[in-house]
Amino acid sequence: MSTFTEGERECIVRPMKAEEVALAIEWAEQEGWNPGRHDAPCFCAADPGGFFVGELHGEPIGSISAVAYDEHFGFVGLYIVKPAFRGRGIGLRIWRHAIAYLGERNIGLDGVVAQQANYGKSGFQLAHRNIRFQGIAHGTESARISNLCDVPFEQLSIYDRQRFPAPRSGFLRAWIAQPDVVALAAMREGRMRGYGVLRKCRHGRKVGPLFADDEWTGEELFSALISRCPGEMVSIDVPQSNAAAIALAERHGMASTFETARMYTKAPPAIPMARVFGITSFELG
């Protein structure tokens, strides 16, 4: 816990209780970020101690997540200060608390492009951009696509680790089992070639992650996922560095709505970005 004095008012930064994470998710909705309906318990499963709230006289006024996936990698998100309390240095205190929690880890974040220079002052460097594509779901089922629940979890965990900077088994178990979820896998001769998750959000649905060994597998998975919600609004957050992923979104009539800057404090993790067709979330990486 850390404190600072702003005039006569004292602000406290402390770990969130599990039930308080839903408040940060609600603030994210108010910011127009369209979080998932069941994000809070899934996020907590990643690192129960990695969520912080700033309080002023007992009133929650700001939040940040600083998920420590392992001893080498962490990710910052949900960095929000209520509008009435902005411009007072409160956000900076919350930020410093989160960065201190993650210590010497390589820290990632997805920040709005306009804030890239500010994150640079904290030692973050641009790795690539992520683009949110949005459109109406029109997909096709495929007999070659399986339910992810039929795949041994260890096999999924190994595949995911090759495409994400750190192990995240606790988070994955919660993410693929949340209510209203569609989780599918592409299997070839017993070997995983890709998987994707479609979750229900406050408005429409989001695909993420979408990992695939090649463009054709990515297309097949994506089409099968969105076939489960025909006519609904669907979005996917695509790494700008993956031209095949951008082409996939455009083939499905999706349009870019905004983008973020993926930044790290150290060298970008050695991830095969050509196999990342959709990131998991802007909040947790």
pLDDT tens digits along 33-75: 999 999 999 999 999 999 999 998 889 999 999 999 999 999 9
pLDDT band at 184 (very low <50, low <70, confident <90, very high): very high
> What is the predicted pLDDT for the residue at 4?
46
Q: Where are the beta strands (DSSP E) in 189-232?
A: 191-200, 205-212
Per-residue pLDDT tens digits for 246-265: 999 999 999 999 999 999 99
Q: At what angle do helices 39-46 and 21-30 cross, to 10 degrees?
A: 120
What DSSP character marks residue 204? S
What pLDDT, on the 0 to 100 scale, is given for residue 7? 30
Instruction: Give tens-digit pLDDT for 85-122.
Output: 988 888 999 999 999 999 999 999 999 888 889 999 99
Determine how many CB atoms are found less than 10 A away from the CB of residue 150.
9
Which of helix, strand or coil describes residue 72?
coil
Q: Looking at residue 11, what is its pLDDT?
A: 84
Per CATH, 2-109 and 132-278 having the same topology is answered yes
> Looking at residue 82, what is its pLDDT?
94
Instruction: With cut-offs at 50, 70 and 90, classify the pLDDT of residue 8.
Output: very low
Distance CA 12, CA 3 (A): 5
pLDDT at 114: 81
CA distance 154 to 2: 39
Domain boundaries, the chain: 2-109, 132-278
How many Å apart are CA 125 and CA 265, to the nearest integer?
6
pTM of the entire predicted model: 0.94
CATH classification for the domain delimited by 2-109, as one of 3.30.930.10, 3.40.630.30, 3.40.47.10, 3.30.420.40: 3.40.630.30
Q: What are phi and psi of 10, to 5 degrees?
A: -110, 130
Task: Out of 3.40.50.720, 3.40.50.620, 3.30.360.10, 3.40.630.90, select the CATH number for domain 132-278.
Answer: 3.40.630.90
Kindly tell me if the per-residue pLDDT of 6 is higher than 70. Answer: no
Mean pLDDT in residue range 126-141 = 96
